Every structure is written in C-alpha cells, then in structure tokens.
Amino acid sequence: MSKWYPKKGRVIFHVDMNSFYASVEAAYDPSLKGKPLAIAGNPEERRGIIVTSSYEARAKGVKTTMPLWEAKKLCPNLIVMRPNFDRYRKASSEMFKMLSAITPYVQPVSIDEGYMDITECEALGSPLEIAKNLQMQIAEELDIPCSIGIAPNKFLAKMASDMKKPMGITVLRKRDLPEKLWPLPVGEMYGIGAKTAEKLNKVEIYTIKDLIEADVYSLKRLLGINGERLQNRANGVDPSIVDPEAIYDFKSIGNSETLREDTTEEIEIKKLIRKLSRKVSTRLKRKEVVGQNVQIMIRFHNRKTITRSIKLPNFIEEEDTIFTIGYDLFEKHWNGDPIRLLGVTVSDLVEKKEISQQLDIFTYEKEASKEKLYQTMEKLTEKYGENTFKKLKQEEDNSQPRTSFQKDYLDDYRNDKKDT
C-alpha cells in the first residue's frame, strides 16, 4: 500500500458537497429529487438571487447569483425555496464529523467544503479507496452527493474536485498537469476571479498554460506579488498546509446589504447603517473579539464601489460606537449619488482575553454604568429577537443568505472543537 503514500510528499483531499443547500433540502424532502430546485431569497425583492440550485435547474441555465426573475424565465417550473440555515448547519456538522473520523488534519473552509491531509492514513487503504468509502458514507447517511479531489497539495486538490461533479472523484498529480490542467481557460483557475481573468486576457494570457509561460516580472507588474503566486500554483506548487487551526484565524467582521431601490434618502440610509452596525456588534460579541478599525463600503447606482476606513486609538465592539464612526465616514465620503449597497466592517480584531483596556477614572465610570444596561438589552434581544429600546420599525430579513453565515458557521465549528 506504501506506493500510494509518498515518503516526502503529502496526500490531500478537497471534499466539496455538490449543490449543498439544494441537496440538503432534497434529502429532507425526497419529493424534490430530480426536480429543478433553487434556494434563493425573497422573489418580490430585487436582491432576491439564486444562492444555489440543483443540477436539474442548472441544466436549464440557472446559475448562482442570477436574479430570480431571470432564473424563472429560463426555467418556468423552477421550485424556489428560502434557505433553512439550521438544517444546513446540522448537515455540515455531521459531514465534518465523518472527515474528522478519518484524520485529525481537517481544515474547513466553508460550510460545504474542506481539506483533509490523509498522508498518515495508510492503514485505511489507498487514497482512492478512502475517498470512495467517504463519498459513499456521506451519500448513505446524509443523502448528499459530494466530489473529492485527490492531489499532492491543496491547490491541486481544489482544482481536482471541480473537474467532475456531481459525485466525482478525481486524482490530479503533477505529471497530469499538461493534460488535465494547463489547457483550461485561465478564468477557471482557483484564485482567479473575473476581473483578474480580464486583466490577463488583455495581455494575451487565455489559458493556464499561457500563465505558466508568461514572464514573471510582467505578471508582477500586472498583478503584484499575486502574479508570481498564481504562476507557481499553475505549476502545481502550493506550500500551504492543511491547518485545523486555520478556523481560529479571522481578520475582520462585516455585513453588507443591498437596498430595495437605489436611494438618496438619508433616513433610509441612516437606518441601514444602524442595522448593519448592530449586526457587526452582535457578531463581535459572539466571537468575543474587539476591533480597532471601522470601514464603510458604498456601492452607487452605477456599481462604482468605494471603501473608506479609519484607525481608532481604542478597541471597540458596541453598536453605538460602530454606528457613529461608520455614519461619520459615510457623510464625509458620500457624493450625493443614489446608493445601491452599503457595508460596515470592523477589522484589526483581537480577542478580548488578549487585551486589557487602559481606562482612566472617567472612562471606567462611564463603561461600568452602562454594563448592566447592556446586559439587560442583550437579554431582551435574545428573548424577543429585537432591540426593544432602539426599534427601527423594520423587519430583519433572514431569508437572504449572507457571507457572515459562512463565517459564523466556522466560528461554531471552532467552538465545538474547543469543547471536545
């Protein structure tokens, strides 16, 4: 069996759940199997977009991030469901338990995908046997399909898992790159987004092979240090390890939201910044961290986006402070044009236990006097689902998935690992 496990190299899996949200719903309700299904937000609102869809829907042209109206035009019999995050969280937890039963070297990267280092799992069989058994276990116990990439490093494992879906298992060795990887369009390479692909296309880099053959100094001028890194990845070089502790690393906490209509109404804008500040504050407290940098993001009606931030002398976590600083940044940098999206982020995070705030007598008295009020407000918020003292007479829209859900899931996974 040792021929499958190199003496110096690694054997890495990338496990990716196929059409995860839709697959979980079909497992919960088998009548949905084989039907065009999409998970999305409120169909009456412009921000209602496709989060994920079944392969039957994808065959009709339905894609992630596509507006609902467009998806329904392509697939009139499309079944649309709102997300059920508790259901997805539970399924994901069960899936990661299966991965962790094989090896302790598991690194979740989102709710539906993660890396495994199985280099030391020779006693369980060949990598291909382990992958087949894992795929079968997930399918039998959770009724969810997955694809698994097998490679000597994380980058190649990620690329391999994308090569055959659903229920694919793909081995990608370095000797396979000229045939399997290099002919692909450069935009299909992990780590290259649409804007980067556009930049590369403008200098006649269309395939991954073109990227490999490009002059490294020209790539650096075009993309900075990332240009050389991408070229190394394309050559199959990725020194990053499968790090179970990576789930403890987070540098910022933020929330953004698209307005129902492009607006210049200051009252509506102010309410949204307040709402976003509250969400960020809640998440900071949940993760027991504080931050020292506040950033506001403004996306205008023409999709032009700006971000402005300020470094603070003290660490913060309270909603009022985040809102006051964020709104001040907004007022200084808004040009009066209609706004489509707003975002609030707190960064430069530090765990509370790692710092001791230096309070003078006046600051101490002020904070101490507020502490009981904060505790009472948080208890009422937990009980009634809203801030009783600062009710803005607007509903929290929990139907639309946010990036923060993925981040919060990893936080929960982290806490579970601490408890075990």
Alpha-carbon distance of 329 to 297, in angstroms, equals: 10
* Residue 401 backbone dihedrals phi, psi, to 5 degrees: -65, 150
Q: Hey, what amino acid is at 273?
A: I
Q: Is residue 348 annotated as involved in ligand binding?
A: no
Identify the active-site residue in 25, 44, 94, 113.
Answer: 113
State the Cα–Cα distance between residues 259 and 256, nearest whole angstrom: 10
The answer to whether 16 is annotated as binding is yes
Residue given tokens 């997300």 in the structure block = 83
SS (H, E, C) 177-227: HHHHCCCCEHHHCCCCCHHHHHHHHHCCCCEHHHHHHCCHHHHHHHHCHHH
Q: Is 204 a catalytic residue?
A: no
Q: Which residues are annotated as a binding site?
A: 16, 112
Q: Which residues are annotated as a binding site for Mg(2+)?
A: 16, 112
Question: Any idea which residues carry the catalytic annotation?
Answer: 113
